[in-house]
């Protein structure tokens, strides 16, 4: 993430990529749905989360600056009973600052169970995590949705803004 007017980096997003020896580069658009169907997405989310925490720890040991990192979490993992507790355990294991972790979910997360989503987001925020809604403007966008769910950041999907300069008055 770059602050354009100052030209400085202020954060990162952890992105899962798979480069298979047999298949070559496999797009996340291909392997994520397969992992979700196979029940492996929670494991992938946790691997990515732990790798980010290891990266934080290494930078700290090397005396380098540590900046916030957004980590995408699948809806299946988000609603898992051990989701928040598992993240807290990992943060404690690596002595990480939860304020440097942005838990990113897609805007459809609240459609599954809005009351449960509110509880989960509140627990995350109360522990110190930041929260982000990704791809806002793609499908279920509603400002009332944003009033119900506590997010510290909204990422508007590029399809929503791509042709904004073409809008006539």
**Grouped pLDDT means (10 residues each) for the chain, 169 residues:** 88 91 92 92 95 96 95 92 97 96 79 83 96 72 68 74 65
Reference 71, options 59, 63, 83; nearest CA is 83
Is 154:132 a contact under the CB 8 Å cutoff? yes
pTM for the predicted model, two decimal places: 0.85
Reference 82, options 46, 53, 38; nearest CA is 46
* pLDDT score at 106: 75
Tokens of 28: 């996340």
Which DSSP letter does residue 169 get?
A: -
């Amino acid at each position: 993430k770059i602050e354009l007017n100052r030209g400085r980096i202020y954060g990162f997003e952890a992105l899962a990529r798979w480069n298979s020896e047999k298949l070559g580069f496999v797009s996340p658009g291909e392997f994520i749905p397969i992992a979700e169907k196979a029940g492996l997405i929670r494991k992938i989310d946790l691997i990515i989360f732990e790798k980010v925490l290891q990266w934080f720890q290494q930078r700290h040991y090397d005396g380098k600056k540590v900046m916030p990192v957004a980590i995408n979490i699948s809806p299946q993992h988000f609603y898992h009973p051990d989701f928040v507790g598992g993240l807290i355990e990992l943060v404690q294991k690596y002595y990480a600052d939860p304020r440097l972790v942005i838990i990113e979910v897609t805007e459809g997360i609240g459609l599954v169970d809005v009351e449960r989503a509110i509880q989960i987001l509140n627990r995350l925020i109360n522990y110190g995590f930041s929260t982000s809604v990704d791809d806002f403007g793609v499908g279920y966008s509603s400002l009332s949705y944003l009033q119900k769910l506590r997010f510290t950041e909204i990422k508007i999907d590029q399809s929503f803004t791509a042709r904004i300069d073409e809008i006539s008055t």
